[in-house]
Amino acid sequence: AVLIVDFGSQVTQLIARRLREAGVYCEIHPFNKAGEALKTVAPKAIILSGGPASTTEAESPKADPALFEASVPVLGICYGEQTICAELGGKVESGHHREFGRAEIVITRESPLFAGIGGVDHRETVWMSHGDRVTAIPEGFHVIATSEGAPFAAIANEEKKIYGVQFHPEVMHTPRGAVILKNFTHGIVGLSGDWTMAAYRDEQIAKIREQVGDAKVICGLSGGVDSSVAAVLIHEAIGDQLTCVFVDTGLLRKDEATQVTTLFREHYNIPLVHVDASKEFLGELAGISDPETKRKTIGRVFIEIFDREAGKIEGAEFLAQGTLYPDVIESVSASGGPSAVIKSHHNVGGLPDFMKLKLVEPLRELFKDEVRALGRELGLTDAFVGRHPFPGPGLAIRIPGEITPDAVATLQDADAIYLEEIRKAGLYDDIWQAFAVLLPVKTVGVMGDARTYEKVLALRAVTSTDGMTADFYQFPWDVLAKTATRIINEVRGVNRVVYDVTSKPPGTIEWE
Ligand code: XMP
């Protein structure tokens, strides 16, 4: 493995991502725990990340000296380069010459770090983001590239295999950054790049076994991709020490609850408690129209029910969660523990009992697409792992105004037809999220000889890469036309269908 020592850069995750894309397994550990990590990870190489601090300040984070004595190659990126210089006898000064954005480096000396990039005098576009800069390098080091703002844009001690770059090879704006990182991991360190999801799965299984021992684990299953993949992985590791608790809010898509229970019970043989709580949720939601109150009510009821059900599983010591890497908001300064994520959702009253359980989070190091790959590795189908995101409060936030059992049933039927038509047209994977919204508005229509007065259904579909921004999807008209006809003919209570052509911003993806 490669040990990535995190100094708090916004883009540390991307270093991990680039390495994994090149088939190299790596782990990110906060700088203040790097000494420990050195022992547990036994890395073949170390990468020091960027970070917001300035080495010129006394309190600034330092790389544990043990890292330089581990006799493995080291690559420092941005702050990482600066800390190498500050600690090994060079000099860093606070920048009067800040450099942010695109820059050009010039290679000044042959180095394996630039293999395939170019030789002396070659110019290469990179992404810089630094205030401080190195002004003197430690003994044994050479400058291998310069830039206008950074005379020591890249440095190397080829003998000790310690490298530093002032730019960020991990970001897309450094077009050939991946080549440079690969030169380090493959060329300089000699890793073969044979790490795969299969290997990750085996490693995680071993880790889960070690963490859990023979204790019992509860997993809250939502039916979504993340919790499902986590559950299947944990089950593979510890078998029936795992019990899944599926709190069915009654606000899922049509037939989804059945699909989840069938998949888990019959296909994977995983013990599953299916809590049909639809009456309880709908009861608590009765009379509520305000979107935020809906969300809070659902959150509260969910926790009450989950706590009650989890309490019935005797002797459980662990709670499994499908937390992903982007959810892990573990800042370097607050790298105390993994509990930050779960607590942020619920801050009312005392902690429910299940929150006192220790956490098992086998997806903590993965990005969404890697979770999908792991899911496939575990035998989940492409259709299952590729499903569109679905919000926790479910259909409740797709029925503006009051939620009634009838409205939920109508929406489920319409939504199912919409998704079926999208799948039939082969468009499902082009779309980030597609769903229907049942409006509390009635309009006049005519069906046969009769006048109708029924609700309006809005269809929404967007493309996006992360849900933060989105464009409305430009459907072929015939798909929309067919969907509308089918919904009006087949779903009672709807006589008009409209398509939402709002992008985000200014709209949000959901209607509430
Ligand atoms: P918006 O509507 O904010 O949605 O543009 C962005 C993404 O977040 C999902 N979403 C939610 N997910 N609980 C969730 O778990 C929520 O309350 C919630 N609201 C929105 C939405 O489906 C989209 O993927």
Domains along the chain?
2-188 (3.40.50.880), 197-385 (3.40.50.620), 400-499 (3.30.300.10)
Q: Which residue lies with its CA nearest to atom 3 of ligand 1? A: 508
User: Contact at 8 Å (CB) between 120 and 130?
Assistant: no
Residue 186 is classified by DSSP as I
Q: Which residue lies with its CA nearest to atom 7 of ligand 1? A: 467
Residue 430 is classified by DSSP as G
**pLDDT for res 345:** 37
Q: At what angle do helices 278-285 and 291-311 cross, to 10 degrees?
A: 150
Counting from 1 in the atom list of ligand 1, the atom nearest the Cα of 468 is 6
Confirm or deny that 129 is annotated as ligand binding.
no
* Residue reference for tokens 């792991």: 374
Counting from 1 in the atom list of ligand 1, the atom nearest the Cα of 464 is 24
Return the number of other C-beta atoms located less than 10 Å from residue 436's C-beta: 29
Residue 438 burial by CB count (10 A; 0-12/13-18/19+): exposed, middle or buried?
buried
User: Contact at 8 Å (CB) between 307 and 356?
Assistant: no
Identify the three-state secondary structure at position 122.
coil
3-state secondary structure 389-402: CCCCCHHHHHCCCC
Annotation marks residue 168 as catalytic: yes
**Which of 346, 509, 512 to mutate to test ligand 1, by most ligand atoms within 8 A of the CB atom?**
509
Establish whether the linkage from the previous residue to 505 is cis, with ω within 30° of 0. yes
Counting from 1 in the atom list of ligand 1, the atom nearest the Cα of 510 is 2
User: Contact at 8 Å (CB) between 442 and 461?
Assistant: no
Confirm or deny that 239 is annotated as ligand binding.
no
In sequence order, the β-bridge partners of residue 416 are: none
Q: Cα of 511 to ligand 1 centre, how many Å? A: 10
Q: Which residue lies with its CA nearest to atom 14 of ligand 1? A: 391
Catalytic residue (one of 78, 85, 219, 244): 78
Annotation marks residue 78 as catalytic: yes
C-alpha 286/C-alpha 342 separation (Å) is 27
**pLDDT for res 328:** 62
C-alpha 228/C-alpha 222 separation (Å) is 8
**pLDDT for res 341:** 33
**pLDDT for res 466:** 76
In this prediction, the answer to ipTM > 0.85 reads yes
User: Contact at 8 Å (CB) between 72 and 160?
Assistant: no
**pLDDT for res 356:** 83
pLDDT digits (tens, 9 = 90+) for 125-146: 999 988 898 999 999 999 999 9
Catalytic residue (one of 99, 170, 377, 512): 170
Cα torsion for 176, 180, 182, 186, to the nearest 10°? 150
**What is the distance between the terminal CA atoms of the chain, rounded to a whole angstrom?**
44
- Reported for 196-201, long-range contacts at CB under 8 A and 24+ positions apart, including other chains, are 196/23, 197/370, 197/373, 197/374, 197/376, 197/377, 198/377, 199/25, 200/25, 200/374, 201/233, 201/236, 201/374, 201/377, 201/378
Q: Cα of 325 to ligand 1 centre, how many Å? A: 18
Residues with C-beta less than 6 Å from any ligand 1 atom? 295, 389, 391-393, 433, 467, 504, 508-510
> Beta strands 242-248 and 154-157: pairing type?
unpaired
Q: Which residue lies with its CA nearest to atom 6 of ligand 1? A: 467
Of 352, 458, 74, 377, nearest in space to 205 by CA:
377
**Length of the chain, please?**
512
Could you say which residues of the chain have pLDDT below 70? 95-96, 326, 328-351
